[in-house]
Amino acid sequence: MALSGDSFKAIEMRTLHHFHGGIHPPTHKSQSTGTGIATLPLPEKLVVPLHQHVGNCAVPEVRVGEHVLKGQRIGRPEGRQSSAVHAPTSGTVAAIDMQTVAHASGMPDLCVTLIPDGKDEWIAHAGVDYRNTSHTDLRHMLRDAGVVGLGGAVFPSDIKSYSRHHKITTLVINGAECEPYITCDDMLMRERPRDILRGAEVLRELLYADEVLIGIEDNKPEAIAAMRKALEQDGHQHMEVIAVPTLYPGGGAKQLILVLTGVEVAAGVRSTEKGVQCFNVATAWSVWRAIAHGEPLLSRIVTVTGNVEHAQNFEVLLGTPVQELVAYAGNKPDTGRYIMGGPMMGVDLPNSSVGVTKATNCIIAASPALFPPPQPALPCIRCTRCTDVCPAELQPQDLYWFAKSNNFGKAQEFSLFDCIECGACAYVCPSHIPLVHYYRYAKSEILVRDHDKRAADLARERHEFRQFRIEREKQEKAERLAQKERAAAEAKAKAVTELPTQVDPAADADDTQQLRIDAALARAKEQAAAASPRNTELLTPEQRSEVEAIEARRAKIHKIASDAGADDEPPKRN
């Protein structure tokens, strides 16, 4: 077990640890916490993407025109890493086609368009008692219920709730919610703390974790109080609600794990290797709904804030168009764009008709007044404010320099891929350089180049082998030809020696004819002898050594061919 004694002591003493850097952007959270979670009325149309999770796209299981019930599976998980997608309400499938989805790429993806019938009629569903159900069955239930990480990463929870090779000491439940504006986890913790804790209990059972630590930033005292009360009320053991300092990006899984346990999980390492697993509070809540009530993930809490009349949290059916959501919250006319997620790591939505997905924790209506266009960038003056705030302990000013000069090798050497794109560096940059933009550019360039290089390497290998094969075949053909000619020449020579030195064409035509026939027979015999190379009794020593040399060359060529991994046909021999 990787966890050593001293860190274990630290956990028991609840000493909080610190991550490097971090920033304190204005939180803007109070504007959306004034009223409780409201339910959005049924929209006229739902556009449900089939790919709302990390892994393979779900396979559609319904046909256009088919009537579906609320909670009915419309997308079947495909392959090991995938998740199911369900009809968020009862209605008719209007289309299954490619549509623009809420994703940074702006690329279209396969969506099911559902016209609700207004009845909101459930499919038959029932929960189980997790204590009497096998872990495999529980994980199957999570997968079939479409439960994925609701903190934004949307990784299938059934995969994350399984650790075969590593003992899990600590299960971290992430209620930090460090991004400005977002309050969906805050409100969920205030209003539904008991089901969150029960979900955490299920996850702990699945992971055999020793303890559950629930980290909440200390700017959410109501949530902390509600969770502590629920914890006491239901008498959860080995579980603790811990207030962590408010410091962005303290809600990043790696940062929260470090703060709570003192364990640093490097880039490219799974936290389970260090004995820790981390789930978001909303995920824990969904786990409980899926297991105890058999309810698949049909909706999520979305903070609607920014340039709207009443910023608030809504329980929103997946697939609800963003424009309906913001319209309900009182969108103001000067809203120019919509940010999904927080202002630090969120994405600028391609348009407002995209549907809410499992990753949509917040929609910020952005006006030029709230989010002024970026100021023109000045050169970097190496002030290292970015280095001071980088939670990954990188040298952002160097990475910027390397990315800008397309020096990608050096960028990788300086751990470009350890960057979590939290945006703290760009936030503090006095030269207003869009640093994260440069890192994203460099990362995608490197990935594209790696891919291209692999493809080119493969193409070159194939081409080289083809050249080699053509050359070899040519050689073999030439050899065969040479052998034939040699045999013919020999036969001829033999025939000539048997002939009188001077042939008078007129002397005896029959004799000449006979001789020709003999010579032809001899040639045929020679050829047969040459075709079976061991049969060399008739050859002169010189001829024999020549044949041997040819055989050796052949063997060598065959060896090279088989060494090169020749997958083509064996060389032909006559």
Partner 1 sequence: MWSSPFLTTPVSVSQIMLRVLYALIPGVALYVWYFGPAILVSITLAVVTAVATEAAMLKLRNRPLKPFLSDNSALITACLLALSIPPLAPWWLIVIGTAFGIAVAKHLYGGLGSNTFNPAMVGYAVLIISFPAHMTQWLAPGMLSLLQLPFSAQLSYIFSGHLPSGSTLDALTMATPLDTLKTQLHLGLSVDEIRSMPIYGYLAGKGSEMVALGFALGGIYLIAARIIPWVLPAAYLGTLFIIAAVFHQIDPEHYVGPLFHLFSGAAMLGAFFIFTDPVGSPTTFRGRVIYACSAALLTWLIRTFGGFPDGVAFAALLMNMCVPLIDAWTQPSVFGKKEGKR
347 forms part of the interface with partner 1 (CB under 8 A): yes
Instruction: Give the count of beta carbons closer than 10 Å to the beta carbon of residue 408.
Output: 18
Does 414 contact partner 1 by CB under 8 A?
yes
Least distance in Å: CB of 356 to partner 1? 19
* Residue 107 interacting with partner 1 (CB under 8 A): no
Q: Which of residues 162-191 bind partner 1 (CB under 8 A)?
A: 180
Confirm or reject binding of residue 434 to partner 1 (CB under 8 A). yes
Dihedral Cα 137, 139, 141, 143, nearest 10 deg: -140
Minimum distance between the CB of residue 569 and partner 1, rounded to whole angstroms?
51
| 361 touches partner 1 by CB under 8 A | no
- Pick the binder of partner 1 from 133, 353, 412, 415 (CB under 8 A): 415
State which amino acid sits at residue 309. Answer: E
429 binds partner 1, rule: CB under 8 A: yes
Q: Does residue 209 belong to the site contacting partner 1 (CB under 8 A)?
A: no
Please name which of 444, 321, 258 lies closest in space to residue 48, comparing C-alpha atoms: 321
Q: Is 137 helix (H, G, I), strand (E, B) or coil?
A: helix
Rounded Cα–Cα distance for residues 56 and 34 (Å): 39
Q: Which of 17, 332, 437, 558 binds partner 1 (CB under 8 A)?
A: 437
- Of 18, 67, 238, 382, which one interacts with partner 1 (CB under 8 A)? 382
Q: Which is nearer to partner 1, 57 or 436 (CB)?
A: 436
Which 6-45 positions form the footprint of partner 1 (CB under 8 A)?
7, 19-20, 25
Q: Is 409 in the site for partner 1 (CB under 8 A)?
A: no
State which amino acid sits at residue 489: A
Sheet of 46-49, strand order: 46-49, 108-116, 91-100, 67-68
Fill in the amino acid letter for 78.
E
Tell me if 151 contacts partner 1 by CB under 8 A. Answer: no
568 is an interface residue for partner 1 by CB under 8 A: no
**The only residue of 97, 393, 498, 548 in contact with partner 1, by rule CB under 8 A:** 393
Stretch that binds partner 1, among 31-39, 62-70, 392-400, 536-544 (CB under 8 A): 392-400
Segment holding 174, helix H or strand E: strand 170-174
Pick between residue 381 and residue 564 the one whose CB is nearest to partner 1.
381
Q: Which residues have CB under 8 Å from 295's CB, separation 6+? A: 71, 125, 127, 145, 289
Packing angle between helix 541-563 and helix 435-498, nearest 10 degrees? 160
Contact between residue 237 and residue 231 where contact means Cβ atoms under 8 Å apart: no
Considering only 221, 245, 368, 374, the residue that binds partner 1 (CB under 8 A) is 374
Q: How far is the CB of 462 from partner 1 (least distance, A)?
A: 38
Neighbours of 412 (CB within 10 A): 15
Q: Which is nearer to partner 1, 150 or 394 (CB)?
A: 394
Of residues 245-274, those binding partner 1 (CB under 8 A): 254, 263-267, 269, 274
CA distance 522 to 499: 13
Separation CA 396–CA 419 (nearest Å):
9
Token duo for residue 395: 């040298």
Strands 73-76, 85-86: parallel, antiparallel or unpaired by DSSP? antiparallel
Interface residues with partner 1 (CB under 8 A) are: 2-4, 7, 19-20, 25, 104, 106, 180, 254, 263-267, 269, 274, 337, 339, 341, 343-348, 350, 366, 371, 374-376, 378-385, 387, 391-395, 397-398, 414-415, 418, 421, 423, 426-432, 434, 436-437, 440
